[in-house]
Amino acid sequence: MGAAFAMAFLWLAVCLTPISCLLQMDQDPDPVIKNLRMDPERKRMSWDLHGNVSQIWCFVNSRRAHKARNNTYCKFAHIPCQATNYSVSVTQGPPFSGWIQHPKLEGKARAAAENLTCWVHDADLLTCTWAVGREAPRDTQYHLYLENLHSLQKWPCSQYRQDEWGTNVECRFDDLSVLSPELNRFSVNGSSRESPIPCSEITKTLHEIERLTAPTITSAWCNQTYSIVQWQVRSHFREDFEYELEMQQGAHLEHKQTEDNFLKLSNPGTYTVRIRARHTAMLAPSWGEWSVRERFVCGRAPLPVWLTSLLIALGTLLALALVLLLCRRYAVMQQLFPPIPHVKDPISDHLQNERMMAWEEEKQQECPVAEVQILGEN
Ligand SMILES: *[C@@H]1O[C@H](CO)[C@@H](O)[C@H](O)[C@H]1NC(C)=O
Ligand SMILES: *[C@@H]1O[C@H](CO)[C@@H](O)[C@H](O)[C@H]1NC(C)=O
Ligand SMILES: *[C@@H]1O[C@H](CO)[C@@H](O)[C@H](O)[C@H]1NC(C)=O
Ligand SMILES: *[C@@H]1O[C@H](CO)[C@@H](O)[C@H](O)[C@H]1NC(C)=O
Ligand SMILES: *[C@@H]1O[C@H](CO)[C@@H](O)[C@H](O)[C@H]1NC(C)=O
Ligand SMILES: *[C@@H]1O[C@H](CO)[C@@H](O)[C@H](O)[C@H]1NC(C)=O
């Protein structure tokens, strides 16, 4: 009696520590679920069922994922290339849980490529970058593959950029038109002579990783009372954009959001505008790049004819005044530095002297043209 009580107490104590209980269940000689296995081709985890249970759930990395179908398998949309923990749990019926890892982790987890990031840019290009795993052997080489998870088509990367050790750390695809905007897997696997290199991956649609280029202005027109500017954004994936405009008229700075791809202003004057875009049909779209600031001078109407004539007349007068001023300056120079006398020629010298005297007496403003005539008589 006492021994039996002690035994029961011992069992209770053992079972209160969860790990022992789990072991106890896993070691159940006749568990309801046996032979847990993964079929990566059919994306199924299945098992053999022994007994009567009413509900089984599947978990991925300890997160509840699917209710089992026919209590005998779970189907997944996508089997990652990274080591992943798949587990099952009987939620109604005799308690059971078990797990498997797929694929098996080989080598050091931190030898895998780290911080894998991919983005679409300049409309036609796709770039992925990653960092060499901290525990990757020196001779590690990485390769990137892009796989359409819908059609299961695969594309290996052909344009790599290497770090100083010759390890691939960036890849570029420069023809997006062959790729599908559907869900894609970007995976980087690696190889080394020292140890296996685990794989890294991310899954994204191309439009969700697109960094929009700056909008380009396709047409612009303005006069004093009215201005219109139109622009467009290049993208292979979406056409529904939202724009942010930054306009500056004098000291007044204004931000405006719109879904129109044009801007109409009345009495625009002189203004600058720059534009950026984002996708609207996304949960948390981020803004693309700003376009360069464009300046529009729309202040002046064409001048009326009478004003144009008046301005021409004024200009002529001004030019005339300038010429007169130049003449006066020339005359002063002549007085300061008189011309050097030439070989004596009594007749013409006499004549010239007389003329010079006459000019001086008149105290008139001489013009260079007149001076040339006098010298020409020599
Ligand atoms: C299985 O259990 C359910 C109740 O949970 C019961 O109705 C059913 O008859 C059982 N089936 C078998 C084959 O034992
Ligand atoms: C896998 O998941 C199960 C259930 O969440 C957990 O008990 C088990 O320890 C996990 N295994 C690994 C290797 O993380
Ligand atoms: C459901 O599972 C039972 C075994 O538990 C099997 O005999 C039966 O064929 C399965 N049905 C379907 C539709 O898979
Ligand atoms: C990956 O990114 C994290 C966070 O930005 C950073 O702390 C870490 O150093 C990066 N890993 C490598 C190998 O550069
Ligand atoms: C990397 O993955 C590709 C495509 O899945 C495969 O063809 C290749 O053999 C793998 N390389 C290594 C080193 O695992
Ligand atoms: C500016 O252009 C608009 C549209 O063509 C026109 O209606 C308006 O009269 C023009 N204004 C001036 C000052 O020319």
Assign domain 216-297 to a CATH class.
mainly beta
Q: How confident is the model at residue 231 (pLDDT cuts 50, 70, 90)?
A: very high
Q: Is pTM, for the whole model, over 0.75?
A: no
Q: Is 301 in the pocket of ligand 6 (CB under 6 A)?
A: yes
Q: Give, in order, the Cα–Cα distances in Å from 49 to each of 56, 57, 68, 235.
A: 11, 13, 12, 51
Q: 3-class SS at 66?
A: strand
Ligand 3 neighbourhood includes 70 CB (under 6 angstroms): yes
pLDDT at position 141 is 97
Instruction: Give the confidence band of 248 by pLDDT, cuts at 50, 70, 90.
Output: very high
User: What is the pLDDT averaged over residues 283-293?
Assistant: 89
Residues in the chain: 378
Looking at residue 204, what is its pLDDT? 92
Closest approach atom of ligand 4 to CA 134:
13
Q: Considering the chain, what is the average pLDDT of its residues? A: 81
Tokens of 320: 């005339």
Residue 262 alpha carbon to ligand 3 centre in Å: 61
**22-102 to CATH, choices 3.40.1010.10, 3.40.630.30, 2.60.40.3850, 3.40.50.11540:** 2.60.40.3850
Instruction: Report the residue among 45, 62, 100, 104 best suited for mutation to probe ligand 2: largest number of ligand atoms under 8 A from its CB.
Output: 62
Ligand 1 atom 1 nearest Cα: 52
The ligand placed nearest to the CA atom of residue 55 is: 1
CA-nearest residue for atom 9, ligand 2, is 99
Tell me if the domain spanning 109-209 has CATH number 3.40.50.300.
Answer: no
> What is the residue extent of each domain of the chain?
22-102, 109-209, 216-297, 327-336+352-378
Which helix (H) or strand (E) segment holds residue 226: the answer is strand 226-232
Q: Which long-range contacts (CB under 8 A, 24 or more apart) does 323-328 make?
A: 324/365, 327/365, 327/366, 327/367, 327/368, 328/365
Q: What is the atom index within ligand 1 of the atom nearest the CA of 54?
A: 5
* Residue 214 burial (CB count, 10 A): 17
User: What is the dihedral angle through the alpha carbons of 77, 83, 84, 87, rounded to the nearest 10 degrees?
Assistant: 120
53: helix, strand or coil: coil
The residue whose CA has the least distance to atom 5 of ligand 6 is 226
Task: Report the share of the chain in percent with pLDDT over 90.
Answer: 51
87: Cβ below 6 Å to ligand 2? yes
